[in-house]
A and B are shown apart, each in its own frame.
Chain A
Amino acid sequence: KNQVEQSPQSLIILEGKNCTLQCNYTVSPFSNLRWYKQDTGRGPVSLTIMTFSENTKSNGRYTATLDADTKQSSLHITASQLSDSASYICVVSPRSSGGSYIPTFGRGTSLIVHP
């Protein structure tokens, strides 16, 4: 069964500090992995998308890494800001083989940034 596990479940950090969120998956065969940021009451917003051949992808202060061998990804946030307070969701998509394609979502990490 395809699964995506995210850790930690929640995280509290001080403004200006860095943090790293983890995503482990069992989806196979693997097509791409996405990180989303979801503010309370709003739809998710894409941060990064990586295929199995990519090791790292950056989007401003957000840097995602991928190790397809160990099936692990991380999202590093640099110099956190109050606006980074949100839920961060990891989504893994299988490689479409002409059959059913169902992306698997992690439960998310809730990040709170305190001033």
Chain B
Amino acid sequence: KAGVTQTPRYLIKTRGQQVTLSCSPISGHRSVSWYQQTPGQGLQFLFEYFSETQRNKGNFPGRFSGRQFSNSRSEMNVSTLELGDSALYLCASSSSLTSGSYYEQYFGPGTRLTVT
């Protein structure tokens, strides 16, 4: 079974631009979560999607948004990029049916975003 894939793997953007990151979950997984990882803050939860609906959201500004398609693939968008948005963005998929449950989460390799 193929793992979680994320594209692109590396991205360089300029302040003020917007960016869209993509995540393809493991086949059969309907839950996709997004995380931001920085040296200063560590890993932080952005949001979770299940069956095309956002069912949980972390404490990030509205510039961070996402969506999920009917095939469970998910995209994350960051508008009006700031220098502080430079980070590794990770997505994880799960067969979980409820948030915060006991199901295993499988992470992708991440997208390294650099904002200059």
Q: By the criterion of a CB under 8 Å from any partner CB, how many residues of chain B are at the interface?
A: 24
Interface residue ranges of B101-115 to A (CB < 8 Å) = 101-102, 104-110
Complex interface bits, A76-99 against B, C-beta within 8 A gives 1, otherwise 0: 000000000000010101111000
Of all chain A residues, the one with the shortest Cβ separation from B46 is A102
On whether the beta carbons of A93 and B107 are closer than 8 Å, the reply is no
Inter-chain contact count A-B, CB under 8 Å? Answer: 56
In the complex, what's the smallest C-beta–C-beta distance from B6 to chain A, in angstroms? Answer: 8
B104–A46 contact, CB under 8 A?
A: yes
Q: Contacts A43-B92, A101-B56; is A49 near B102 (CB within 8 Å)?
A: yes
CA A108 to CA B38, docked complex, whole Å: 12
CB proximity of B15 to chain A, nearest CB, Å: 25
Q: Which one, B42, B56, B107, contacts A43 given CB within 8 A?
A: B107
Give the number of residues in A that approach B within 8 Å (Cβ atoms): 25
Query: Which residues from chain A contact B99 at a C-beta distance below 8 Å?
Result: 96, 101
Decide: B58 and A102 in contact? CB cutoff 8 A.
yes
When the two chains form their complex, are residues B45 and A103 in contact, meaning their CB atoms are under 8 A apart?
Answer: yes
Asked if A100 is at the interface (CB within 8 A of a chain B CB), the reply is yes
By the criterion CB–CB under 8 Å, are A107 and B101 in contact?
no
Complex contacts, B109 vs chain A, CB 8 Å: 41-43
* B33: min CB distance to chain A, Å: 9
Sample (19) of A-B pairs whose CB atoms are under 8 Å apart:
A31-B101, A31-B102, A32-B102, A42-B110, A43-B90, A43-B107, A44-B43, A44-B90, A46-B105, A49-B102, A89-B42, A96-B101, A100-B56, A100-B57, A103-B100, A105-B44, A106-B42, A107-B42, A108-B42
Minimum-distance CB pairs A-B, first 3: A43-B107, A105-B43, A96-B100
